[in-house]
Amino acid sequence: MVAGKFKFAIDRGGTFTDVFAEGPGGKCRVLKLLSEDPANYPDAPREGIRRILEQELGVAHPPDRPLDTSRIESIRMGTTVATNALLERKGARTALIITRGFRDLLHIGTQSRPQIFDLRIATPSQLYEEVIEVDERVVLCQDGDTEEPGVPVHTGVTGERVAVRRALDETALRAKLERVAAAGIRSIAVALMHSYAYPEHERAVGRVAAAVGGFERVSLSSAVMPMVKIVSRGYTATADAYLTPCVQRYLDGFLAGFDDQLLQRVSILFMQSDGGLASIDDFSGSRAILS
């Protein structure tokens, strides 16, 4: 039996999956498989790992049994699962929660026009199918502003002072969330005004959604992309809510074929849209679009 462990680097594309393995002593192997071949295997990356281990170690690894991870040191993978789901519009049914009065904000966008004189502008379809406007309002305090009676002022996470002119109406929100959950919507994107500085209202939305139950993903823009611009922040949160359930289902299927020591024995990282690597727990839809 060969001593040492194997390192795997995998590119799981829409048509083909490429598996690179570095074995003990620096020996390298490359394998190409169809990404979808259900008649022969349920998951291409795992099948590539199984075949290489079986061939290099000379030990049978039956495809119908959990794959032994004792000889695997690391797995690095990039996958187009999120990319394909976005292009084909096969993500989760999603609702957008936004501050009252801004329901059309993500549809309007920034009004950036690559062809400024084009009279027929084709805009992409939105990833959400329902908009929930919530009663809440936070505004930034300007230098020289005097505090208004009955309006609490807080110092946000960015150091900016914010005035909470209207607290979140959690009772009304709960009723709206129960309605969309009953309609079969399973993902929620939350983008509230100035939440990058004062995320408390978005966090409260998350708690209410958890209490209602039935949602696979609740993406808070203040957590997913805590940036100043609400349009960009809202787009990112919406993509995260729309795509994360697809990514999670793929990850669950990939992990299911290994033995129960996988996460303890093996370093597993996934390629993110920014070129960095993320652990399984941190790998979400918005980070996987350009994996």
Query: What is the tens place of the pLDDT at every residue in 248-262?
Result: 999 999 999 999 999
Place of tokens 């996987």: 288
Whole-angstrom Cα distance, residue 249 to residue 252?
5
Its pTM stands at: 0.90
pLDDT band for 143, please (50, 70, 90 cuts).
confident
Cα 281–chain centre separation: 10
Average pLDDT over residues 258-279: 93
* Distance in angstroms (rounded) separating the CA atoms of residues 210 and 255: 26
Distance CA 8, CA 74 (A): 6
pLDDT band at 3 (very low <50, low <70, confident <90, very high): low
What are 144-180's pLDDT values in tens digits? 777 788 889 999 999 999 999 999 999 999 999 999 9
Give the pLDDT mean for 6-24: 95
Residue 170: name the closest of 195, 192, 139, 202 by CA: 202
Q: Are 81 and 246 in contact (CB under 8 A)?
A: yes
Give 8-53 as a 3 state SS string. Answer: EEEEECCCEEEEEEECHHHCEEEEEEECCCCCCCCCHHHHHHHHHH
**Angle between helix 200-212 and 170-182 (nearest 10):** 50
Rounded Cα distance between 163 and 156, Å, is: 10
> In this structure, what token pair is assigned to residue 119?
């009279």
What mean pLDDT value characterizes the chain?
93
